Amino acid sequence: MWTEREGLLLRLEDEGARAGYGECAPIPAFGTETVDEAEAACRELGDDVDDERLNAVPRNLGCLRNAIANARMALPHESDEVADQTKAKVPAVESAKRPAYLAVAALLPAGRPALAQVAPKAEIGFRVFKWKVGVADAADELALLDDLCAALPGGAKLRLDANGAWDRRRAERWLERCAERPIEFVEQPIAADHRGAEDLLFGLANDHPTPIALDESLVRDAEVEKWLGLGWPGFFVLKPSLIADMPTVTQQLAKAKARVVFSSALETAVGARAALEAAFDWPGDRHAIGFGVWPLFADRRFDGPGGAPMIRVEDVERMNPEEVWKALG
């Protein structure tokens, strides 16, 4: 249970008093830096920075580097003046390719309470549902799977997220049950730090028809690159806020024609806006995004758009980092 979401909002201002915003939203339990480490690095940077100093922020502070990259994106770069014409054309082309909206996966509560939520969520238009497993008693959960599948509207799909809770035998039992059921994928059946996790995950992926998704296994840019290099056949659940260099990682994933599910890191609207823009700009096949998280904060001004089975491009454009910054007081 998270009662507080600790992170940093970053504001970069140039000499022309234009401001860019970014959010450092680490999840240390996943293996990112801590907020304290990121904050210490910011204090070390001081009040005046240039490109060289920002580039020198250590690679292991991936979430902070992500925040810096997003804040800089809103500011004109020194090199832009030279390459102005070509650069100006790139965003126009990209935004023209943006879809009008992206489908959102509905987040179901763990255990039996999930069952009562399917019908009302289906009623308002959700067609992809995500259920956390490996939380309650395993036999109860397995028995519930059929009830949940039966409750799904026609054509709908269920994602299961084990958050690394299973061992190989339990994962196999579940995957056997998932075959021939409308399960889109099983997320992180084996913990990222489980002994021999790579072999186990590949073994499960090869032995079962239901795709497997990696989430906790993909904390840093290098890990995405590693699994791509290994030829991972399943889904990549990508939390853009944890990725230091999203343009490069996106390019690598797109080149490999990877199946990517963009997902929230429980950040405020500042980081979420950048993450959602990455999702809208993704050139590959689209899968419902894992942003069914709002309302999340006690102060709604930190939230993104919530409750609907889709997020529209204008919902994203309406997310205003400056307002979130001001809401901090």
Nearest approach in angstroms of CB 218 to Mg ion is 10
Stretch touching Mg ion by CB under 5 A, among 7-15, 32-40, 78-86, 179-187: 179-187
Q: How far apart are the first and last CA of the chain?
A: 26
Q: Based on CB atoms, which residue is closest to Mg ion, 189 or 305? A: 189
DSSP per residue, 95-131: HHH--SEEEBPEEEPSSTHHHHHHHHHHHTT--EEEE
Q: Based on CB atoms, which residue is closest to Mg ion, 33 or 161? A: 161
282 burial (CB, 10 Å; 0-12 / 13-18 / 19+) is buried
Nearest approach in angstroms of CB 215 to Mg ion is 4
Total number of residues that touch Mg ion (CB under 5 A): 3
| SS3 state of residue 20 | strand
Site for Mg ion in 204-223 (CB under 5 A): 215
- Tell whether residue 277 is a contact of Mg ion (CB under 5 A): no
- Helices 246-255, 221-229: crossing angle, 10 deg rounding: 10
**255 catalytic per annotation:** no
24-62 burial string, b = 16+ CB within 10 Å, else e? bbbbeebbbbebebbbebbeeeeeeeeeeeeeebeeebb
CB atoms within 10 A of CB 271: 32
What Rg do the C-alpha atoms of the chain give, in angstroms?
20
Nearest approach in angstroms of CB 19 to Mg ion is 33
Q: Based on CB atoms, which residue is closest to Mg ion, 69 or 238? A: 238
When binding is defined by CB under 5 A, the residue of 23, 141, 161, 221 that contacts Mg ion is: 161
How many Å apart are CA 9 and CA 325, to the nearest integer? 7
Residues in the chain, overall count: 329
How many Å apart are CA 235 and CA 307, to the nearest integer? 25
Nearest approach in angstroms of CB 236 to Mg ion is 12
Q: Based on CB atoms, which residue is closest to Mg ion, 250 or 264? A: 264
Stretch touching Mg ion by CB under 5 A, among 84-92, 109-117, 187-195, 218-226: 187-195
How many Å apart are CA 137 and CA 299, to the nearest integer? 35
Q: Based on CB atoms, which residue is closest to Mg ion, 7 or 189? A: 189
State how beta strands 128-132 and 212-214 pair: unpaired
* Nearest residue to the partner Mg ion, using Cβ: 215
**239 catalytic per annotation:** yes
With contact defined as beta carbons under 8 Å apart, do 318 and 312 qualify? no
Q: Based on CB atoms, which residue is closest to Mg ion, 68 or 272? A: 272
Nearest approach in angstroms of CB 107 to Mg ion is 11
Nearest approach in angstroms of CB 188 to Mg ion is 6
- Which residue among 87, 239, 257, 326 is the active-site one? 239
Site for Mg ion in 91-150 (CB under 5 A): none
- Which residue among 121, 130, 132, 157 is the active-site one? 132
Catalytic residue annotation: 132, 239
What is the contact surface with Mg ion in residues (CB under 5 A)? Answer: 161, 187, 215
